[in-house]
Amino acid sequence: MSLIVVGSMAFDDIETPFGKSDKIVGGAATYIAWCASNFTPVKQISVVGGDFPQEELNALSARGVALEGVQIKKDEKSFYWSGRYHMDMNTRDTLITELNVLGTFEPVVPESYQDCEFLMLGNLAPSVQLSVIDQLKKKPKLIAMDTMNFWMDIALDDLKKVIAKVDVLLVNDSEARQLSGEYSLVKAAAAISKMGPKYLIIKKGEHGALLFHDKEVFFAPALPLEEVFDPTGAGDTFAGGFIGHLAKTKDISFNNMKTAIIVGSAMASFCVEKFGTQRLREIKKQDIDIRIKEFVDLVNFDIALA
Ligand code: AMP
pLDDT digits (tens, 9 = 90+) for 11-22: 999 999 988 988
For the chain, strand residue ranges (E) read: 3-6, 10-16, 19-26, 42-49, 66-73, 79-85, 92-98, 118-121, 142-146, 168-172, 199-203, 209-213, 216-220
Domain extent listing, the chain: 3-299
Of 34, 82, 148, best ligand 1 pocket probe by most atoms within 8 Å of the beta carbon: 148
What CATH number labels 3-299? Answer: 3.40.1190.20
Q: Which amino acid is at 4?
A: I
Quick check: 1 pLDDT over 70?
no
Kindly report the backbone phi and psi dihedral angles of residue 120, in degrees, each rounded to the nearest multiple of 5, phi listed first. -110, 110
Per-residue confidence band for 259, with pLDDT thresholds at 50, 70 and 90: very high
Look over the chain and give the mean of its residue pLDDT values, rounded to a whole number. 96
- 123 pocket-lining for ligand 1 (C-beta < 6 Å): yes
pLDDT, residue 238, reads 97
Query: What percent of the chain has pLDDT above 70?
Result: 100
Structural contact between residues 148 and 158, judged by C-beta atoms closer than 8 angstroms: no
Q: In whole angstroms, what is the distance from residue 165 CA to residue 167 CA?
A: 7
In this prediction, residues 150-160 reach a mean pLDDT of 97
Ligand 1 contacts CB of residue 121 (under 6 A): no
Element (H, E) at 217: strand 216-220
Distance CA 86, CA 99 (A): 24
Which atom of ligand 1 is found nearest the CA of 239?
Answer: 3
Q: Give the separation between CA 293 and CA 58, rounded to whole angstroms.
A: 32
This model's pTM is above 0.95: yes
Alpha-carbon distances, residue 125 vs 42, 130, 286 (angstroms)? 20, 9, 36
Spatial separation of the C-alpha atoms in residues 21 and 16, rounded to whole Å: 9
User: pLDDT of 85-138, one tens digit each?
Assistant: 998 888 899 999 999 999 999 999 999 999 999 999 999 999 999 999 999 999
- For residue 95, which of 106, 104, 83, 108 has the smallest C-alpha distance? 83
- Kindly report the backbone phi and psi dihedral angles of residue 239, in degrees, each rounded to the nearest multiple of 5, phi listed first: -60, -40
67 has a pLDDT exceeding 80? yes
- State the average pLDDT over residues 178-184: 97
Mean pLDDT of 240-266: 97
d(CA 184, CA 182): 6
Looking at the CA of residue 237, tell me the nearest atom of ligand 1. Answer: 3
- Residue 139 pLDDT > 80, yes or no? yes
Backbone angles phi, psi at 99, to 5 degrees: -65, -40
Ligand 1: atom nearest CA of 235 is 3
**Any ligand 1 atom below 6 A from CB of 235:** yes
